[in-house]
Amino acid sequence: MMCFDSENEEERISRSSRRDSRARRVNTMEMWKRGTLDDRPIKERWSREFKKPKVKKIKDPTEKFDSAALEGLVLEVHRRTCVVRLLGGEVINATYRAAVVHELKEFPAVGDSVMVARAKDAEENAPYSLLRVLPRRSSLVRPGPKDKSRRELVLAANVDQVVVVSSVAEPPFNYGFADRFLLAANLCQLPLVMVLNKTDLVENLPQGVQDFISIVDKFICVSCKSGAGLDALRDVLKNKCSVLSGKSGVGKSSLVNALVPGAALNVGEVRSLDGKGRHTTTSSSLFELPFGGRIIDTPGIRELGVAEMDEHDLARSFPGFFHNDIFTCKYNDCMHLNEPGCDVLARVRSGEIPQARYESYLRILHSEN
């Protein structure tokens, strides 16, 4: 019996000793993390029994790179990698790690100015790593996936203007899409240029097209097939960074091929069953214009929501509803649905505001952005 008690006592003392050792080890590590232990670039690590102290040098975060950071311009963005053109002209692939994205709270976008460096443990197809994205002077955004924490995705960065390409036929002009892009450009404080393609297919512009171009500051009629209007488009794009957007099948790729010799983008045909375009551009790409300036060709997208916009702000700022952006409805919170004294409804009934524009407003108002 005495032997049994002695064994229990020894075991109890051993457990207590291990607990004390772990506590001392944790307290020391906490002190080191808080900076109250010392400022030397070393730390002590102990075995489980607090014996045999070892000294380990703290890794310098810059040690994983072979060279100094270099500045470059993002030409394309893919999953985990992006194509970057360095200031010297060399085009390289760079990986962007989760830590960089977490620090930025944003993924890199085409048109971004970034800092990259060659990594020691780099993959063969991407020898550089993206260190940081330099501040943006402007951006065109769209809503992100509804199940993600980031509600906005940047389509293009550091742009001077938005160029929306629409076709007057095959596929027909889409009123709702043009309204969404005009509204998105206004929210991002970017000027919008409307380019009407395939004008060789019609003798006169449809009434819906005429109604829309009456509210935009600048529009250009072009035909990639005949070349009409391309010189006027070059003048608008010269010495500016423009983002080219539009629905699939309207001729963005054909325009890029006409403006940038050697681009050789794939051109898709319009589907005969539903008249919708085929996606030929799968990711945004930046091209240098031979006459000066840049264009960012974005994928053809069938929908563009308006991110983080209150429904009352939408009602007060919808393009084409008010002259000189002066709200003229009787009530300040008028949503233009069935409220008394609504100036918008009165002008829709009189024909001053096209019915197609009002229906476009309703679709955006009731959509889940």
**Is position 200 annotated in a ligand binding site?**
yes
Do 113 and 207 fall into the same domain?
A: no
State whether 286 and 322 are in the same domain: no
139 is in an annotated binding site: no
Interacting residues of 273 by C-beta distance below 8 A, sequence separation 6+: none
Answer yes or no: is 37 within a domain: no
**Is 334 known to sit in a ligand binding site?**
yes
pLDDT band at 60 (very low <50, low <70, confident <90, very high): very low
**Could you give the percent of the chain with pLDDT greater than 70?**
66
With respect to residue 64, please indicate whether it lies within any of the assigned structural domains.
no
Interstrand relation of 218-221 and 192-197 (parallel, antiparallel or unpaired):
parallel
Whether residue 211 sits in one domain with residue 162: yes
When mean pLDDT is compared across 91-105, 171-185, 193-207, the lowest value belongs to: 91-105
Is 176 annotated in a binding site? The answer is no
Tell me, yes or no, whether 198 and 112 share the same domain. Answer: no
Query: For the segment 286-299, what is each residue's pLDDT rounded down to a tens digit?
Result: 999 999 999 998 87
Domain count for the chain: 3
Please give the share of the chain, as a percent, with pLDDT higher than 90: 24
pLDDT band at 308 (very low <50, low <70, confident <90, very high): low
Confirm or deny that 336 is annotated as ligand binding.
Answer: yes
Please give the average per-residue pLDDT across 183-207, as a whole number.
Answer: 86
Same domain, 323 and 211: no
Does the annotation flag 148 for ligand binding? no
* CATH number for the domain that contains residue 247: 3.40.50.300
Read off the amino acid at residue 265: L
Q: Is the pLDDT higher at 147 or at 284?
A: 284
Confidence at 58, pLDDT banded by 50, 70, 90: very low
- Are 184 and 287 part of one and the same domain? yes
160 domain residue, yes or no: yes
Q: What is the pLDDT of residue 122?
A: 59
According to the annotation, is 249 in a ligand binding site?
yes
- Would the annotation count 3 as a binding residue? no
Please indicate whether residue 240 or residue 102 has the higher confidence score (pLDDT). Answer: 240
Instruction: Please tell me the distance from the alpha carbon of residue 283 to that of residue 81, in angstroms, as a whole number.
Output: 12
Pair (166, 256) in one structural domain: yes
Residue 133, SS3 per DSSP: strand
Mean pLDDT of 303-317: 72
Task: Assess whether 241 and 183 both reside in one domain.
Answer: yes
In which band, very low, low, confident or very high, does the pLDDT at 35 lie, cut at 50, 70 and 90?
low
- Please say if the pLDDT value at position 232 is more than 90: yes
Mean pLDDT (whole number) for 198-224: 86
Region 74-98 average pLDDT:
88
Residue at 226 is within a domain: yes
Q: 47-70: buried (b, 16+ CB within 10 Å) or exposed (e) per residue? A: eeebeeeeeeeeeeeeeebeeebb
232 in the same domain as 123: no
Per-residue pLDDT tens over the stretch 118-153: 876 656 666 788 888 899 999 888 765 554 545 567
Q: Is 277 annotated as a binding residue?
A: no
CB atoms within 10 A of CB 179: 24
- Return mean pLDDT, the chain: 76
Give yes or no for a contact between 249 and 267, defined as CB atoms under 8 angstroms apart. Answer: no
Say whether both 231 and 339 belong to one domain: no
- 46 belongs to a structural domain: no
Q: How far apart are CA 367 and CA 160, in angstroms?
A: 29
Q: Answer whether residue 92 is part of any domain.
A: yes
- The reported pLDDT for the residue numbered 272 is 43
Domain CATH code at residue 125 = 2.40.50.140
Domain co-membership, 180 together with 287: yes
Which of residues 273, 297, 321 is at a domain's end? 297
Please indicate, yes or no, whether residues 230 and 188 belong to a single structural domain of this protein.
yes
The whole-number average pLDDT for the span 53-65 is: 49
Q: Is 231 annotated as a binding residue?
A: no
Q: Is 366 annotated as a binding residue?
A: no
195 belongs to an annotated ligand binding site = no
Within a domain: 39: no
Is 166 labeled as ligand-binding? no
Domain that holds residue 128: 70-135
